Structure 1
Amino acid sequence: MTVNVPSRMWPALRTQGQRVSMAWDRLGDQAAFYALTAASVGTVLRRYRAELVRIVAQMSLGTGVLALVGGTVAIIGFLTLSAGALIAVQGYHSLSNIGIEALTGFVSAYLNVRLIAPLIAGVGLAATIGAGATAQLGAMRINEEIDALEVIGIHSVAYLASSRLIAGIIVVVPLYSIAVLMSFFAARFGTTAVYGQSRGVYDHYFDTFLNPMDLVWSSLTVVVMAFVIMLVHTYYGFTATGGPAGVGEAVGRAVRASLVTSVVVVLGLTLAIYGQSPDINLSG
């Protein structure tokens, strides 16, 4: 059976086809850039170790005004501190409605490690380290500094993108350790000092339901998330166009994409790790 398409619909169909083709080409370019960035990690470790150390210091403690408040360490710490305080507030009130407010320690040990702390850390990484990397690389692109590096024989992808990829993974481990500790402290302080629950009761349920392997899996989740976030942000910064306005647009697109991918990574890894064993594991 032959389907007759009105002639007035051909321009619209052609436009949609061009959009699909451009989106497919853009996806291929991203995949190629991600593969090249990951493959150039060895080049960074062999040739650009000094630049890697400088980027690690910049990402962790920050520069300029940001260094005065402790850089990314302070930002992620305060974010997770707020999340832990919300667990104390919402967890205690919700559980007290059914008379089991003593289990607030269980909520902190269970939700902080498996879901809340990784997500909050991902948001902090995307908004600080990731956005900063995109802005830096975008400014270098529009000022033709990346082209200048390639002219003098420097592997621009390794020097700029792969180095930031490695630095992000290195920095995220101590950052996440601080984030988890801050969330635990805030939940415990809010529950015991503000709402007056016995410290012994809180610590009993917290220690009982805190599985040490959950901390290992949670750290692995954040490392994978940092890997994905840095790939996304370096791509958008490396391909920024259109002057200063284009750099701002690239930062916005990168943050949006990295936040979405962070949630997808946490969801996928959580289902892979805990999906086959939904039961609550006791540590003691």
Structure 2
Amino acid sequence: MAATTPIGRPTLAGLRTRFDEGVTTTGAMVELAAQASRAVVEDIAQRRFSWSEFLFQAWFMVRVSLLPTILVAIPFGVIVSVQVGGIAQQIGAASFSGAVNGIGVLRQGAPLVTSLMIAGAVGSAITSDLGARTIREEVDALRVMGINPVNRLVAPRLLAALVVALLLNVVVAVTAIGTGFALNVGGGQVSSGTYLGSFISFAQPTDLLLAELKAAIFGFIATIVSAQKGLSASGGPKGVADAVNQSVVLSFILLAIVNVALTQAYVMLVPQRIA
């Protein structure tokens, strides 16, 4: 009887195929990122950028992500406030709860929530839209007419995602910090002056710059991943659905890795304030 391969056990050939697919996808995303970035700069400089498409996509992204972002930011602020406030009370450091809540939300919470909304709500919409255009051969039709799909479809979405990500990051930070302030001060754990004073003592302008930089990078990565998956979709509606799933999962993984790298670089390069 011939030997059979156990079901589910990856073979060497299968691993090689997946590795090759991963390298190909990575190269395609890097190439698309370079082309889209160049298209944004050149089209704006040459006054041929599609501002109407940019405004339409920006408004669409705001509509699909603003309310979910606020609804996620509120419980996020509650969780951080309750956990930090409880530990601060146990060790007798309730006066520092404002600094811990505010800086934690500003450096980590706001960019992460923003990235999840951009990758989940906005990214999936970009992938499904471009994927549907691809399988209907609309993208091929643009190429036949001499129109670059990157300039016409990807560049406006990329710039819109960057702007919306920067704005959503501010919304998340204000909502989460305000929620923490209301819980700590409203619950009588600490006075408003002490809460704000500790936050001001430890916070730095570079914290806000870090948060905005993270939001911009996360928006850029999520848009490029979503656009690449959408433009490479094949196999009909099922292929579009698979592309949406792949783009969301891959975006989450990349955003988590980039977040760790940026945080570690910031801690090592920027001196931290001592009250």
Superposed pair shares fold, TM > 0.5: yes
Change (3 A) 1:274 1:142: same
Distance 2:274 2:227 in 1: 39
Shift, 1:102, TM fit: 2.2
1:143 aligns with 2:136: yes
Shift, 1:207, TM fit: 2.1
Shift, 1:182, TM fit: 0.6
Shift, 1:44, TM fit: 4.3
Distance 2:142 2:179 in 1: 46
Please tell me the residue identity of whatever aligns with 1:230: T
Distance 2:30 2:36 in 1: 10
Change (3 A) 1:13 1:121: closer
Distance 1:133 1:41 in 2: 17
Please tell me the residue identity of whatever aligns with 2:252: L
Distance 2:24 2:189 in 1: 59
Shift, 1:173, TM fit: 1.8
Match of 2:222 in 1: 229
Distance 1:226 1:57 in 2: 15
Match of 2:202 in 1: 209
Identity of aligned residues (%): 26
Change (3 A) 1:44 1:277: closer
TM-score, structure 1 length as denominator? 0.85
Distance 2:209 2:18 in 1: 43
Please tell me the residue identity of whatever aligns with 2:172: A
Please tell me the residue identity of whatever aligns with 1:190: L
Distance 2:221 2:15 in 1: 30
Distance 1:23 1:110 in 2: 37
Please tell me the residue identity of whatever aligns with 2:234: T
Shift, 1:52, TM fit: 1.6
TM-score, structure 2 length as denominator? 0.87
Gaps of 5+ in 2: 6-10
Please tell me the residue identity of whatever aligns with 1:152: M
Match of 1:92 in 2: 85
Shift, 1:93, TM fit: 0.8
**What are the residue-to-residue correspondences of 1:21-170 with 2, within 5 Å?**
21-45=20-44, 46-47=47-48, 48-60=50-62, 62=63, 71-170=64-163
Shift, 1:37, TM fit: 2.0
1:220 to 185, 188, 213: 213
Distance 1:37 1:155 in 2: 10
Shift, 1:186, TM fit: 0.6
Match of 1:67 in 2: none
1:199-255 CA-to-partner distances (Å, cap 9, x unmatched) read 222122122222222112211121111111111111111111121121111111111
Taking only aligned residues, the RMSD between alpha carbons, in angstroms, comes to 2.1
1:130-173 CA-to-partner distances (Å, cap 9, x unmatched) read 11111111111112221222222321111111211111112222
Gaps of 5+ in 1: 1-7, 63-70
Q: How many residues align?
A: 263
Please tell me the residue identity of whatever aligns with 2:263: T
